[in-house]
Structures are given as structure tokens and as C-alpha cells.
Amino acid sequence: MTTDKLEKNIKIKNGKDYKHLRKGCYPVYGGNGVLDYVSDYNSENCIVVGRVGVNCGNVFIESNKCWVSDNALSLTTNPNIKLKYLYYQLQNYNLNRLKKQGSQPLITKTILNNLKFCIPSSKTQNTIIKILDNFTELIDTLKAELTLREKQFNFYLSFLFSNLNNKDELDLKRIVTLNRGKQINKKDITVNGKYQYINGGIEPSGNTNKYNFEKNKIIISEGGASAGFVNFIQDNFWGGSDCFVIENKSNEYLNRFIYYFLKNNQEKLMNQKHGAGIPHLSRFVILNLKIPVVNLNKQEEIVNNLDNLNNLINLLKQEIDLRQKQYEYYRDKLLDFGDEDE
């Protein structure tokens, strides 16, 4: 087994612009994956590495013909290195951490050419590929199942609310209060904080060791590209200034029913954000929504059905996360040959 620089074992080409090409059957790869399909190709059986932008260093493998755009690099190997082995090695490097900083972060040919990695025997490469393929195939299967379950959830969410056949409605403001979060001091945001810090995005913005809202609250993103996104927080959390928090003040409505009602209106809310630059969602758009008048037994039935589907989705997400960590652990171990040359 030898350790060598990448430049001695691969060929790297810059991608090219594709906008002059007609639509076709060949995938176009940019820095974040497939962008389009065109009528011509400039690479085949290659590794594609994202070249420019915040997420530069993304790694993709394409065993067929494709077009690599000017935002990416195309890598092909010599006979000593199997393409899939190189793919796993480059993933293991976490190329984004090696990017050249500037107004536009870059992964350059020089950065890739200077990488050192071990080249085991063809048999060993095949063994590593087989083991890691088993993990990635399982993860892909779970992701496909998750996509189907999310589609099923969205179908039943819409179906259950559209088939209530109830003409009586109330303004949402009659049964809830809408509070806005408070900006947190940057020094209070920590990596290992006990509570999530939730602001205007879909995902938490960090962690903190204090909270300003108790568990089981409905939240809606108030500002940014995801303004109007609806979520349910099951633990105590800190809500930021771009976060609306819904408080149920009615004994006639279940909190989870209100959540699912708002989730069913999420697309409508997201389409009503406004403002130049950073868009925002008006509190009145939320409060003026019309919620159907439904008895508690029916509410409970709807909530139970949707909770069952939602719980299955959350279990799949947890399983995918665990399998991804397992894959990364074994990838790191299998590709760590130490510093010895043979």
C-alpha cells in the first residue's frame, strides 16, 4: 500500500458553462448537485467536486455521461484507483474545511492535487467499497421511505381538514394569543446549551442555557426566506425576535389541533410574507385566519391520526441520523491507514 499525492493518480478538469446547450438527457452538475439536463456532455465516469461558494467541496459520483458546469471540477482516476474508493476518500476529507477564503470561497485544483491519501490493493478497495455501499444503500432506502411518509402525512393533513364539512368558523385571534420572541445576547449562545435557540429559520439557530418559553408551543417563523414556517416545540426553548409563539387561550380547542390547522395553512402563510430585502410575515395574516368550529372529540380523532403519522416520520428521521453517524464512523475507521507506507 502506498501513500501519494492526488495529482499523481487523478486528472482534474474545470467544468464549463452549460447555458448555451439545448435541453436533453445528460445531467448538469453544479456545486450542489444536479442543476438541469442538457443535450451534450463533457465528462463521464467521474467524481464531481463543488468548486465555488459557501458549500464548496461537495462530492458527487457519476458513472455515466454528464456535463460538469463551471461551478465544479471533474475528477477521473488512473487504473490503480477505483472511482468509488476515491469518492469515499474525498467525502472523508471534508473538503469544505480546506476551502480558500475570499469573497467567494473556493476549492482549487491545487488544493485537491496536494491532498495525500493511501492507495491499498484493488482487493482492499473493493472490500471497503462493499462495506460502505451497504451503509449508503440502507440510508437511501430509509430516505425514500421518509419521502413517501411525508407525502402521506401531507395528503392526510389536507384531506382531514378539507373534509370537515363544517361551515362555522372563528377568527384565530379569538382563541389564541400571538407573542413575539426576544433577541438573545450572542454571548449566551453556546454549542452545548441545554435549550434550543429558535429564531427565523426552519432549524434551531443554536443552543443556550436559558429559556423564555415553556414546552409544547406552536411557533411560526416571522422573518427571512422561511417566514411562515410552522413548527411545534416539545421542550422549553428560547424564542428569538424573528419567532412568533402561539398560546392557546381556549378550552374548546386542543393545542395540537391548532398546530395542525396552522401547518395545513403553512404554504398560504409563506406566500404572504412581504418586504424588500429580508421578507417578514405580518401577525395579522396569522390572527385573521379562519379556524373551523370542531367538537373536541373530532379534534382528538384528527390529532391522533396525524400524530401517528408524524411519530413515524420522526422515528425514520432518527433512524437515518443514527445510520448516517454509523456510516461516518466506519468510513473514518476503514479509510484511516495511519502514516505508514508499504
Give the pLDDT score at 286.
96
Task: Kindly indicate the confidence band of residue 270, based on its pLDDT and cuts at 50, 70 and 90.
Answer: very high
Classify domain 167-293 at the CATH superfamily level.
DNA methylase specificity domains (3.90.220.20)
Separation of alpha carbons 99 and 96, rounded Å: 5
Give the pLDDT score at 1.
66
Model pTM? Answer: 0.81
Tell me the pLDDT of the chain averaged across its residues. 92
- pLDDT tens-place string over residues 158-186: 999 999 877 899 999 999 999 999 999 88
Task: Kindly indicate the confidence band of residue 253, based on its pLDDT and cuts at 50, 70 and 90.
Answer: very high
Residue % of the chain over a pLDDT of 90: 78
Give the pLDDT score at 235.
95
CATH class of 2-119: alpha beta
Poorest-confidence range of 4-13, 76-85, 214-223? 4-13
Domain ranges of the chain: 2-119, 120-149+295-342, 167-293
Task: Kindly indicate the confidence band of residue 340, based on its pLDDT and cuts at 50, 70 and 90.
Answer: very low
Task: Kindly indicate the confidence band of residue 336, based on its pLDDT and cuts at 50, 70 and 90.
Answer: confident
- pLDDT tens-place string over residues 81-103: 999 999 999 999 889 998 888 77
Give the pLDDT score at 55.
83
Poorest-confidence range of 62-71, 106-115, 315-324? 106-115
Mean pLDDT value of segment 92-116: 89
Task: Kindly indicate the confidence band of residue 338, based on its pLDDT and cuts at 50, 70 and 90.
Answer: low
